[in-house]
Amino acid sequence: MEARSGRHVRWPLVGLLIAAVVSVACSGGGLADPEGERPAPSGSAASPGPSTTRADSTTSVAEFEQDVADAQAIAERYWAAQFKASGQRFQPVKRITPYQREGEVSCGGQPLPRNNAVYCSRGDFIAYDVRWSVAAFRQVGDAFVFYLLGHEYAHGIQVRLGINYSFTIQQELQADCMAGAYLGDSVRSGALTLAEGDLDEFREGLAAVGDDPDQPWFAEGAHGTAEQRTDSFFRGYEQSLGACDLG
Ligand SMILES: [Zn+2]
């Protein structure tokens, strides 16, 4: 995947880490369970696409920060255009805040734990443990940043639209769909360019992010099985927001 700026975005597949990361990348008031990082197998079965170079398999904090900024900019442009098209004013999420220590940032009086990323509806901000996120970025690939930001940003959009499902899983699967739509539509608009093999990498990556099969679907914190999450993401990716039940 290549951002319009010309930088390339890879998503090597490291399933276990993705599973840990996305299952804690949670929403709203619910500050997800701090599962922490799991050891992930090194290396990747995915070979770089033709327009992807090894040289840009970025690992520096500066590159990470640039990816966060790019993902934020693309998300803001995307959602601003969607709101404008339906005649509504769009307010971007107030800020995206890195933190390093437990309790350094709070959401509605609740200190954010290490190894997490959340959208906080009380303060309308996204916050992420920067060390944990950089570690995930280094192990998974930089496209992960675009997905993570897209998912958390979608929670901010849900709040703007007044969407509040009874069950966490509905909120989460919709956010996956919206993250898929933001990525798919950005590819269609040319804001992002996929390299050959990237779609398979998304698919394989998403297949790894599901809840445990014995997780009750109605449980607090449930995000959905691998199949549900993959279906939701690609419904949005392929069919855009019309497939995300935004009403
Ligand atoms: Zn979430």
Query: Dihedral, CA atoms, 46, 51, 53, 57, nearest 10 degrees?
Result: -60
CA of 31 to the centre of ligand 1 (A): 10
Tell whether the model's pLDDT for residue 163 goes beyond 60: yes
Provide mean pLDDT across the span 189-197: 80
207 vs 112, higher pLDDT: 112
Residue whose tokens read 């930088």: 7
pLDDT in tens, 219-241: 777 888 888 988 999 999 999 99
215 vs 27, higher pLDDT: 215
How far is the C-alpha of 112 from the C-alpha of 117, rounded, in Å?
9
Backbone angles phi, psi at 162, to 5 degrees: 70, 25
Other Cβ atoms less than 10 A from the Cβ of 57: the count is 16
219: left (phi > 0), else alpha (psi -120 to 50), else beta? beta
Range of weakest confidence among 67-71, 98-102, 168-172, 200-204: 200-204
The pLDDT-based confidence of 177 (bands split at 50, 70, 90) is very high
The pLDDT-based confidence of 30 (bands split at 50, 70, 90) is very low
pLDDT of residue 84: 97
How far is the C-alpha of 45 from the C-alpha of 6, rounded, in Å?
24
Q: Which residues face 129 on adjacent strands? A: 99
pLDDT of residue 90: 97
pLDDT in tens, 104-137: 999 999 999 998 889 999 999 999 999 988 887 7
Residue whose tokens read 């739509």: 181
CA of 244 to the centre of ligand 1 (A): 15
pLDDT of residue 218: 74
CA of 150 to the centre of ligand 1 (A): 10
Q: Mean pLDDT score of the chain, rounded to an integer? A: 77
Give 68-87 as a DSSP string: HHHHHHHHHHHHHHHHHHTT
Other Cβ atoms less than 10 A from the Cβ of 101: the count is 11
pLDDT of residue 12: 37
Q: Beta-strand (E) ranges in the chain?
A: 2-3, 25-26, 95-99, 106-107, 110-111, 117-120, 125-129, 192-193
How far is the C-alpha of 172 from the C-alpha of 154, rounded, in Å?
9
The pLDDT-based confidence of 182 (bands split at 50, 70, 90) is very high
CA of 55 to the centre of ligand 1 (A): 32
CA of 156 to the centre of ligand 1 (A): 10
Residue whose tokens read 């339906």: 86
CA of 53 to the centre of ligand 1 (A): 31
For residue 241, give the amino acid letter: L
CA of 73 to the centre of ligand 1 (A): 20
How far is the C-alpha of 78 from the C-alpha of 93, rounded, in Å?
13
